[in-house]
Chain A
Amino acid sequence: MKLLSRTSYILITTILFVVFIGSIVFYIILKSTTDREIKKELQSTMQSIIHEFKENPNVYSGLSLPGYITVEKVNAEGHYQPFYKDTILLDELDNSYKQYKLFISEIKINSDFYRICIYKSLNVSTQLIERITLIVSIIIIIFILFIYLLNRFIFERIWSDFFLTVKKLKSYNVNKESKIHFENSEIAEFSLLNSTLNKMISKLHDDYVNLKEFTGNISHEIQTPLAIIRLKCELLLQSMPLNNRQAELIRDIQKTNSRLSKLNKTLVLFTKIDNDQFTHKERISIDELIKSHLDDFTSLTKLRNIDLKYLMTDDIPLIGDPMLVDVLIVNLIKNAVLHNIENGEVIIELNGGELTISNSGEKTDLSNKNILDRYTKLDRKSDSLGLGLSLVKKICDLYGFTISYQYLNDLHVFTISFR
């Protein structure tokens, strides 16, 4: 629900509720006030009539003016206190019933008892009350309407700064833009928001730049000492004569060093993907990519008598970082080749927006082994880091591809859907 609708909704329901209760109270107060006034008026009229009656009993006894005043003789037994009564009388003038208030009082003149009724028409006051209530209600409804329209108008104006801020934030990409600045607003709250955002984004940007530099540098900083170790080992190897034991030791150092260096490279790659630093985009043909590597793989598979087949029906053009997509494809094929068996097979299929790589290997279903997680190594004997497939997964996630694993007909099947 929009802020405007929400506030309007609350405002209007509250006002309607207050007006409803208010009208009732207003009506009751008005009614009781007029009632009191009418009673006062009747009382004073009664007093003056009684006074007149006592002085000229003959004039008044038997007076009968329904709607104004009636005097009649009653028995003494019926003596009671003066009281009020509401009644309806037919008005012969326009042939309609009208409300009257009656004030009945009994007096004793000489030895006779008389009952005096004074009538007061309620017609005017009732109408007045109804009119007043109606007018007040109309005023209130106009008032609500006005508030609503005003609110709408003010909303657009006042919140314009806010929407500007949101628009800027929406288009902000920490990866691309250096910094964005939010202008001060006339409204203190929005100014506060903007200045907070300014602070936050400049911090965010600085952190991002630092992190980016760090990941770039860490690779350089670690690769250089690793490079030195490697070169020194190589020089050491050339310094003859070495006995076999020494040569083997040097080679072991080299091997470990290589592993370390590859681990470092892979982890830096992970961080870079996490930091979304692969912004370079190009059109890539998966078919061409696979073909360019096929030679290398064929020479590897031939030696183990692995049958490598590549079937392509339709190519998939992709937009992405060529290096990342390369890593993705190469890692998958490499995985299929390395974890294969003598006289095994690798089938690469590319069609319908999907790349399927099936390979023979150990006859175990790996569906529930989290093979796409980091450091999941299935055979301890290999020097592999267990990062290859998780890297594949990571790149798939980055570009929105889906990867799945199946064990079908003794083949390990990896499918990437590029759609």
Chain B
Amino acid sequence: MKILIVEDEVSLQESINSYLKVEGYICESAVNYNEGEEKICMYQYDCILIDINLPDGSGLDLIKLAKSRNVSAGIIIISARETIEDRIKGLKRGADDYIVKPFHLSELNARIFSLLRRIHFKGDDQIIFKEIQVNSSERSVLINNSHLDLTKKEYDLLLYFLSNKDRVLTKESICEYLWGDFADNAGSFDFVYTHIKNLRKKIVDKGGVNYIHTMYGVGYKFVSK
């Protein structure tokens, strides 16, 4: 899977790059509009991350270009602007997703993971990890072929872990992923704990392995090995 990151902030771009590389993606980057234009025209990508504010042009124009050149690529906008107008403008141009800075790398990773699955399997895919089988069109989970009854949040949580295997996920990032803006109170971290406790219990009850490890004082990690 090839990913192009068009982001003028080198430091940000490098961070995304190094996180995604570990996930096994091949990452290329462009630091301005011209470079982005060149790469979009020359190569094929599975996913393109585009910052709207580029020093020499607008990322919105790059989206248009990418859509005409590289039809199959999924496009995610990375922007500091979060008004509805900005979002609509971006999505209208053909972007698939919109993520507002500052975001968690694990969240970006989950979004890319979900977008790529949507593109390649048209939403009718299965994520299989050892005994866990996730059917995303039905939003159902099977453990050892027996149905696992999860709440919406628990399902989202499991997907989040599956897209960020072997990563330390902080409570904040999980909280923001599950509740978005509501997660600005220390109390809500207890909710994360409760959700994870329930999810673990349900998986183990169905004979699954407890892959979710607690990293003391930091967060959680889905250990695949």
Q: Using CB atoms and an 8 Å cutoff, list the residues of chain A in contact with chain B.
A: 216, 219-220, 223-224, 226-232, 234-235, 237-238, 244, 247-248, 250-251, 254-255, 257-258, 261-262, 265, 280, 295-297, 299-300, 303, 321-323, 330, 334, 338, 381-385
**Distance between A72 CB and nearest chain B CB, rounded to angstroms:** 117
Task: Tell me the bound Cα distance from A381 to B185 in angstroms.
Answer: 10
Which B residues lie at the A interface, using CB under 8 A? 9, 11-12, 15-16, 18-19, 22, 53, 80-85, 100-106, 151-153, 167-168, 170, 172-173, 179-182, 184-188, 190-191, 194-195, 215-219
Residues of B with C-beta under 8 A to A257: 102
Chain A residues, Cβ within 8 Å of B85: 280
Seed contacts A226-B102, A227-B12; 19 additional CB < 8 Å A-B pairs: A223-B80, A223-B100, A224-B80, A227-B9, A227-B80, A228-B9, A235-B15, A237-B218, A238-B22, A244-B216, A247-B215, A251-B218, A257-B102, A280-B85, A299-B151, A303-B191, A303-B195, A322-B84, A385-B184
User: A230-B102, A258-B172, A382-B185 given as contacts; is B218 within 8 A of A323 (CB)?
Assistant: no
Contacts of A262 in B (CB 8 A): 184
Q: Does the CB pair B18–A235 fall under 8 Å?
A: yes
CA gap between A251 and B105 in the complex, in Å: 14
Smallest CB-CB A-B distances: 4 pairs: A227-B102, A231-B15, A223-B80, A220-B80
Q: Which residue of B lies closest to A227 (CB)?
A: B102
Q: Which residues of B contact A322 (CB under 8 A)?
A: 84
Of A226, A238, A295, which contacts B19 at CB under 8 A?
Answer: A238
* CB-based contact A296/B15 at 8 Å: no
| A251–B170 CB distance below 8 A | yes
**Contact present for B15 and A232 (CB under 8 Å):** yes
Contacts of B187 on A, CB cut-off 8 Å?
Answer: 338, 382
Hey, which chain A residues are within 8 Å of B81, CB to CB?
216, 219-220
* Residue contact B218 to A265, C-beta cutoff 8 Å: no
Whether A244 pairs with B217 at a CB distance below 8 angstroms is yes
Pick from B80, B153, B181: contact of A299, CB below 8 A: B153
Q: Tell me which of B102, B105, B185 contacts A384 (CB under 8 A).
A: B185
Q: Which of A216, A251, A257, A265 has the most CB of B within 10 A?
A: A251
Contact A323 B170, CB 8 Å, known A234-B104, A330-B181? no
Distance A402 CA – B221 CA, assembled complex (angstroms):
47
B191 to A321, Cβ gap below 8 A?
no
Tell me the smallest distance from the CB of A174 to a CB of chain B, in Å: 19
Q: Least Cβ distance of B217 to chain A in Å?
A: 4
Q: Which residues of B contact A216 (CB under 8 A)?
A: 81
A265 B19 Cβ-Cβ under 8 A: no
In angstroms, how far is the closest chain B Cβ from the Cβ of A263? 10
With a CB–CB cut-off of 8 A, which chain A residues contact B9? 224, 227-228
Query: Which of B105, B151, B180, B195 is most buried by chain A, counting CB atoms within 10 A of its CB?
Result: B105
Complex CA gap A148/B34 in Å reads: 73
Are A235 and B102 in contact, CB atoms less than 8 angstroms apart? no
Question: Of A235, A244, A296, which one neighbours B105 at CB under 8 angstroms?
Answer: A235
Residue of A nearest to B53 (CB): A220
Enumerate chain B residues within 8 angstroms of A235, measured Cβ to Cβ: 15, 18-19, 105
In the complex formed, the residue of B with least CB distance to A221 is: B80
B152 touches A231 (CB 8 A): no
Asked if A228 and B15 make an inter-chain contact with CB atoms under 8 angstroms apart, the answer reads: yes
Whether the pair A254, B80 counts as a contact (CB closer than 8 A) is: no
The contact of A383 among B16, B101, B102, B186, by CB within 8 Å, is B186
Residues in B with CB closer than 8 Å to A248 are 217-218
Contacts of B16 in A (CB 8 A): 231
* A280-B84, A323-B83, A338-B185 as given contacts; A223 in contact with B170, CB under 8 Å: no
Contact B218 A250 (CB under 8 A): yes
A224–B102 CA distance with the chains assembled, in angstroms: 7
Q: Find out whether the CB atom of A300 lies under 8 angstroms from the CB atom of B179.
A: yes
Contacts of B151 in A (CB 8 A): 299
CA–CA, A159 and B11, complex, Å? 63
Q: Which of A228, A231, A258 has the most CB of B within 10 A?
A: A231
